[in-house]
């Protein structure tokens, strides 16, 4: 898999820069590891831009749930939905999007994974002779193909509907991630109930 949380971090910042009421929605399917990292990275990116932003999380797979109604009730109009368009449900409600005053969808940003480059990197390790699962297994080491922005595997597509300054912010954050000058989960971590880890707690 890839470091989708890097894209979610940037998308959280974009979402917070466009929400006028400090309310953001995040629709996820299942609480598995990659999903949780994405949720947390999104919230941290949003707080970086708007310390008063509140992320309202809901689960699309919840039995008898109606997350659309739930978000409308909370007056949330900027949401993070599914990462891509699904062939069986070709809705425009994907990536980061805003609901306009008539309920229409304005797409703002979406994560992109370059699968061709991802597999090219793996094949290159085979050609270089550095891909040896048997040797790694003997040493009880994990094989790491967890590529992200620095490897050119993950990116964020930005709509021309977001402001120049939001685009500039997104590009600055992307460069900081690629250059390893920012650690998404570094520093203080907070939950809904308060401080989880202080800035000095690595």
Write out pLDDT tens, residues 152-198. Answer: 999 999 999 999 999 999 999 999 999 999 999 988 887 778 888 88
Strands 194-197 and 189-191: antiparallel
What is the distance between the alpha carbons of residues 15 and 59, in angstroms, rounded to a whole number? 19
pTM metric for this prediction: 0.88
Q: Is the pLDDT of residue 133 over 70?
A: no
pLDDT at residue 181, rounded to an integer? 94
The per-residue pLDDT for range 62-94, each reduced to its tens digit, is 888 788 888 888 999 999 987 877 666 656 777
- Which three-class secondary structure string do you get for the chain? CECHHHHHHHHHHHHHHHCCCCEEEEEECCCCHHHHHHHHHHHHHHHHHCCCCEEEEEECCCCCCCHHHHHHHCCCCEEECCCCCECCECCCCCCEEEECCCCCEEEEEEEEECHHHHHHHHHHHHHHCCCCHHHHHHCCCCCCCCECHHHCCEEEEECCCCCHHHHHHHHHHHHHHHCCCCCCCCCCEEECCEEEECCCCC
Residues 79, 23: contact at Cβ < 8 Å?
Answer: no
Q: Mean pLDDT in the chain?
A: 87
pLDDT value of position 131: 67
């Amino acid at each position: 898999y890839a470091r989708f949380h890097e894209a979610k971090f940037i998308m959280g910042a974009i979402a917070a820069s466009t929400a006028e009421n400090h309310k953001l929605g995040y629709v996820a399917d299942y609480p598995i590891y990659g999903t949780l990292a994405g949720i947390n990275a999104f919230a941290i990116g949003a707080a970086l831009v708007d310390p008063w932003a509140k992320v309202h999380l809901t689960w699309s797979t919840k039995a008898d749930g109606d997350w659309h109604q739930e978000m409308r009730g909370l007056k949330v109009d900027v949401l993070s939905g599914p990462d891509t368009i699904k062939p069986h449900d070709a809705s425009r409600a994907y990536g980061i999007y805003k609901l306009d005053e008539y309920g229409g969808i304005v797409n703002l940003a979406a994560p992109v994974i370059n699968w061709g480059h991802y597999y090219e990197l793996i094949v290159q390790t085979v050609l270089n002779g550095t891909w040896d699962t048997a040797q790694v297994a003997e040493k009880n080491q994990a094989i790491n193909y967890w590529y992200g922005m620095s490897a050119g595997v993950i990116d964020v597509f930005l709509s021309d509907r977001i402001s120049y300054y939001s685009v500039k912010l997104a590009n600055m954050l992307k460069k900081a991630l690629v250059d390893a000058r920012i650690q998404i989960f570094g520093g203080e971590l907070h939950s809904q109930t308060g401080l989880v880890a202080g800035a000095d707690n690595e």
